Amino acid sequence: MLQDQLATALASKDQLEKSLSSVIQSREQLEKMLASKDKEAEILKEKIAALELAQEESNSLSNTVHADNVRLEREVAFLKAVTDETQKARQLDILLIMLVILLWSVLSLLVAGAAFHSQGFGRRTVARIPAPGTHLRYFLPIH
């Protein structure tokens, strides 16, 4: 009976050793998995830190772009105003040139008329030609 108990105890011991070996292997595997998960967690923390830094840089660049857009809008408005003023100045220059041409034409006609009248044709109208330096409006007919 002792031998049977001894044999049962030895068999139980072998079974326990196998179970212990299996538990030790499972523990080693769990430790490896835990170490792997720790590495993954560290990598994820680094990625999160990199993403936060990228987000800060993105915000900074966004602010810079916004400031540049505001500055460019102001510059465009200024250049538009300058262009408008330049256009007005050109139109005024054109009007002044047209006025000078008109005055030159009128003066040429008056000089031609004076030459025509001084040759004896219609001396009565010569008196209507203004003297140099006098204002034209005093000699225009009023109706």
Higher pLDDT among residues 117 and 105, named by residue: 105
Higher pLDDT among residues 113 and 108, named by residue: 108
Given 3-state DSSP classes, what are the helix, strand and coil percentages for the chain, each rounded to the nearest 5?
Answer: 90, 0, 10
Position 110 scores a pLDDT of 83
Domain ranges in the chain are 2-138
Residue 113: is it exposed, middle or buried by C-beta count within 10 angstroms (0-12/13-18/19+)?
middle
In the predicted model, what is the mean pLDDT of residues 32-53?
Answer: 96
Helices (H), 119-138: none
Position 2 scores a pLDDT of 85
In the predicted model, what is the mean pLDDT of residues 87-92?
Answer: 93
**Distance from first CA to last CA of the chain, Å, rounded?**
157
In this predicted structure, the answer to whether residue 68 has a pLDDT above a threshold of 70 is yes
